[in-house]
Structure 1
Amino acid sequence: MKAQLQQYMQENNLTQAQVATAIGKSVAVVNQYLKGTYKGKTEEVDEAVSRLMGRHQERVVERRFNGAFVHTHKAELCLDAVNTAHIEGVIAVVIGAAGLGKTQALRHYVKGNPETLLIEVDPSFNPKVLLKTLCQQLGLSETGENHDLFVRICQRLGAGRLLIVDEAELLSTKCLEYIRRIHDKTGCGLVLAGMPKLIANLRGKHGELAQLYSRSGVFCDLGNGLSLEDVGLLAESGLGTSEFNAVLFKISQGNARRLNYLMRGAIRVAAMYERPIDEQIILAYADALIK
């Protein structure tokens, strides 16, 4: 197993530290194991290394899945709204249920327009985190009070730029107020994307965000699920065939994330049994997904 690990590390350009992290051992243990001087339970390290390489092999198999961005109808609606906000310097609001591919569409836009700022919000965001994140992306100093950060951001941004905020429904009222003022002062385009709850947040409990809500010039509602046509486009791109479009649509229920899990899993199972993907494999793997 030691020789196999050495070959694995060479082929994948891995350090001992990376291997140690992956198998839950110290760097010293990995170093001694590779040298053949480890005094502990070698069989435990053997098993950990075997599991590591097994996971790698599964990832290699999974690469048969084509995860490239697909221009579905939903994605085009999202991209049109984003592009309008960028060109006209207005506020666009994009909402939709989870698993429709909003984030992938936003990242695709940023890839083609690298001057765009993309913030992916998480529950830890408060005004300070928001402003420091913007400063990081703009290459500005993160020191000082919120007002100092806000001023630096407004001085750096301007018309022709675009700020995209994904998972915006997680932002507090104060964070949304800062974003509105950045848009007002700089003239940059602004996209707020998230779950349907975002609309209620933008209205504010007591109308405190009326200025932000009323200034939203573009509204894009992606709905609750992908159409059969969109699922077909994703399935044909992912698997290279349209043979299973109907069953994939039925099982995924129009959810792109669930569809991707399903296709990746079917590829792994087919490789495990050394047989082509068929409807039976897809249905069998579907039972492993959360309903």
Structure 2
Amino acid sequence: MKAQLQQYMQENGMTQIQVANAIGKSVAVVNQYLKGTYKGKTEEVDEAVGRLIGRHRDKVVERRFNGEFVNTYAAERCLDAVAIAHIEGEISVITGAAGLGKTKALKRYVEMNPETLLIEVEPSCSPKVLLKNLCQQLGLSEIGLNHDLFERICGRLVAGRLLIVDEAELLSTKSLEYIRRIHDLTGCGVVLAGMPRLIINLKGKYGELDQLYSRVGIACDLGNSLSEEDIGLLAEKGLGRQDFNTALFKASQGNARRLNKLMRGVIRVAEMHGREIDERLIQSYANMLIK
């Protein structure tokens, strides 16, 4: 097992510290184990190393799954809404249930247009955090009051740029107001993407965001699930075959995220047991996923 660990470390560029952290042993134990001078229970280290290499083998198996971007109809709608906001300097809103591929489509657009600013909102994102994030992406100083940061951002952004905010339903009313003013003063396009409640948030509880909502040029609603055709495209790309499209559509419930978990799991289980993928295996693994 020592020779296997040495080969594993060499192939993956791992240090003794990384191995120690991965198997829950001290660096000294790993060092002595590799030198053949370890006086403790060598079989315990052998087992830990075996599990480490086994997990890596499972990851290699997973590479059979192709998770590259797929230009589904839903993705096309997202990309169209983003492009319109960029070209026209408009505000586009993209909503839909979780797991439909919104984030993948947004990141695809950023790959094709690297000058685009992308903010992925965290639950604790305050107006200050939002403005500092924008300053950081624009190469501006993050020091100062919110007004100072806002002024710097507006001084740098110009028409022709695009700001994408993912999971925008987590933004506070104040943060949304800052985005509206940045749009108004700079003419840059804005895309707000998130869960369906984003539309409700944009209206404001008491109509306090009417100025923002009235500026929305495009509202792209992806609904609650993907079409069978879209799921088929994703399944064919993921598995490299299309004979299980119908079974995968039913098992995934039209959700791209669930589909990806399902395909990865099916590939791994099939490899672990040396069996072929079939509809029974797909249904069996689907039953283990959270509904």
TM-score bracket, normalised by the shorter chain, equals over 0.9
Deviations 1:242-261 (A, max 9, x none): 10111111111100000011
Q: Does 1:250 align with 2:259?
A: no
Number of residue-to-residue matches in the alignment: 291
Deviations 1:83-114 (A, max 9, x none): 00000011000000001000000011100110
Match of 1:237 in 2: 237
Hey, what does 2:213 align to over in structure 1?
A: 213
Offset at 1:18?
Answer: 2.7
Distance 1:41 1:157, change over 3 A: farther
Structure 2 alignment gaps of length 5 or more? none
Indicate how the Cα distance of structure 1 residues 87 and 58 shifts in structure 2: closer, same or farther if over 3 A, else same. same
1:102 — aligned with what? Answer: 102
Equivalent position amino acid for 2:130 in 1: L
SS of equivalent to 1:290: coil
Q: Give matches, 1:146-225, under 5 Å.
A: 146-225=146-225
Alignment of 1:74-93 (within 5 A): 74-93=74-93
Tell me the equivalent position of 2:142.
142
Name whichever of 61-70 and 19-28 sits farther off: 19-28
| 3-state SS in 1 of match to 2:217 | strand
Q: 1:213 to 1:10 in 2, by over 3 A?
A: same
35-44 vs 176-185, greater mean Cα deviation: 35-44
23-32 vs 278-287, which deviates more? 23-32
Cα distance, 1:240 vs structure 2: 1.1
What 5-or-longer segments of structure 1 have no aligned partner?
A: none
Give, in angstroms, the shift of residue 26 of structure 1: 4.2
Q: Evaluate the alpha carbon distance shift between residue 18 and residue 133 of structure 1 in structure 2; reply closer, same or farther with a 3 A threshold.
A: farther
Distance in 2 between residues matched to 1:134 and 1:23, nearest whole Å = 39
- Please tell me the residue identity of whatever aligns with 2:19: V
1:15 is matched by which residue type in structure 2?
T
Which residue number in structure 2 is paired with residue 115 of structure 1?
115
**In the alignment, which residue of structure 2 is the partner of 1:47?**
47
Identity %: 77
Which amino acid letter does the alignment assign opposite residue 129 of structure 1? V
Greater shift in the superposed pair: 12-21 or 133-142 = 12-21
Q: CA RMSD of the aligned region, Å? A: 1.5
Provide TM-score, normalisation by structure 2.
0.95
